[in-house]
Amino acid sequence: MKEKILEKFLRYIAIDTTSDPESSTQPSTQKQLNLSKLLVKELQEMGVTEVGLDQYGYVMATIPSNLPAGKKVPKIGFIAHVDSAPDAPGANINPQIIENYDGNDIVINAQKKMVMKVEEFPELLNYKGQTIITTDGNTLLAADDKAGIAEIMTAAQYLMEHPEFPRGEIKIGFTPDEEIGRGVDKFDVEKFGADWAYTLDGGEIGEMEYENFNAASAKIFIQGRNIHPGYAKGKMINAIILASEFNSLLPVEQRPEFTQDYEGFFHIIRFDGTVESATIQYIIRDHDFNKFEEKKNLIEESITYMNKKYGNGTFKLEMKDQYYNMRKQIEPHYHIVEKAVDAMKMAGVEPNIKPIRGGTDGARLSYMGLPCPNIFAGGHNFHGRYEYVPLESMEKATQVILNIVKLYAQE
C-alpha cells in the first residue's frame, strides 16, 4: 500500500494547482483542472461509477455498495481539495525522499542554508525510522492536500480491487479553491448524495477535528494625499502612516504568533501602499462566536475612529464572513466522530481530538447539510518551504478510511 500511495502522491504534486485569491472565476485557476481531469481518468480506470467533473471544477464519484440487497447503511463521503496554497510557489515541486530517517536535522537546501532542525521541529523525532518526504526549499510540498487525495484514491483502488471487502455506497469528492476559502461555493450537496462525510485535510497522524474557527476577511482601503515633501506641512496625508496607525489599534496579544488552542486572532496578511493610497488585508478568527463578533466590531469601530480623525471616506472597509465553527452542526451527529475514533484505534493510531486553528471545506459543508469532520492527512508545516509528510502517516490515513467504511458496513 505504501508504494501505491507514494506513486500517487508524487504524480499529483508534480501538477501545479496553486489557487488565486484575486481571481473571480471558479476554479480560480484553470491549472487546477489538470489534476481534476487526471483524477477522473484514474477513477474511471478503477471501475468507479458516476465519475464526473463539472464546470466549477468539482469531481464526484461513487463506489457502489456490495452489501446484500435490502441492507441499508449510511452513504459515506470522503473529500479532499486539489488546490495548493498561494503562500509559496507550487510549480516544479522537487521532493526529497528520506528513507529510514535517522532523527537528525534535515538539510532542505544546502545552497540556501535551509535546515529543518530537530530543536525547532521536535515532532520530527516521532518519525525516526520512517520515510519522510520534504521539499527542496524552493516550493511548498502540496501535501496539503495532495496527501489527502492520494489516501482517498489509494483506498478507492483497494476497495475496487477487493470486492470481498464489505462496504456500503461510498461517495468521493475533490474540490478546487479550498485554500482561498471558496472550496464549496458551488458544491452540490444533494448531487453528492452522502449522509455524512469526512475531509482528509488534517495535519499530523491521529488528528481529528470537529470544531474550527469562525472566520472573516477584512480588506481596508486608505486614501491619502500626496504633496511634494518640501511643501507638505499641513497638507500631506500619508496613507502608509495611516495604515500603520490603524494596525496599532488592534491588540498585539491577539496576533497569531501570540495565540494558541482556542485563542483567536487578527492576522494582517497583506499590505500594499504608497503615500497616495494603501490597502491592508486581515483574516479574523475565533472559535467562540461572541468573541468572533467582538473582533469584527473592533475592526468597524477602528475604521469609524480613523475616519473621524482624518475625514470621512479616508478609510473604507470590505468585510465578509468566510465560514463558521462546525461544532454546532457536528455534535447532534457525534457518532460520526466516534466512528472515526474507532477506525483510528483499529489502525493502531492514537486519536487526538483537537480544535483546528483554521478551516476546511468540511466546516462549510456542515452548514450546508452535510456533517463533515476532518481527519489527519499526515503533513506538517503546511503552506511553506519546510512542509513535509511521513509516508507511514499517509498509509495509516488510508487504513482509517477503509476502517470507517468497514464500520459503517457493519451497522
Catalytic residues: 83, 178
**Exposure string over 83-117, b if 16+ CB within 10 A, otherwise e:** bbbbebebeebebbebeebeeeebebeeeeebebe
Count of CB atoms within 10 A of residue 162's CB? Answer: 12
**What distance in Å separates the CA atoms of residue 207 and residue 144, rounded to the nearest whole number?**
14
Residue the block writes with cell 510549480: 91
Residue 3 CB contacts under 8 Å (≥ 6 apart), including other chains: none
Residue 280 CB contacts under 8 Å (≥ 6 apart), including other chains: 219, 220, 222, 243, 246, 247, 268, 270, 271, 272, 273
**Cell numbers placing 34:** 489538470
Judge if the upstream peptide bond of residue 54 is cis by omega within 30 degrees of 0.
Answer: no
Under 8 Å between Cβ of 400 and 347: yes
**Cell numbers placing 297:** 466590531
In 3D space, the residue among 175, 108, 181, 95 whose CA is nearest the CA of residue 142 turns out to be 95
Count of CB atoms within 10 A of residue 262's CB? Answer: 13
Q: Alpha carbon of 166 to those of 62, 67, 156, 273, 359: distances in Å?
A: 15, 6, 13, 59, 32
Under 8 Å between Cβ of 411 and 335: no
Residue 36 CB contacts under 8 Å (≥ 6 apart), including other chains: 53, 57, 59, 82, 174, 176
Under 8 Å between Cβ of 61 and 171: yes
Task: With residue 248 as reference, give the H or E element that holds it.
Answer: helix 239-248
In the chain, the amino acid numbered 34 is: N
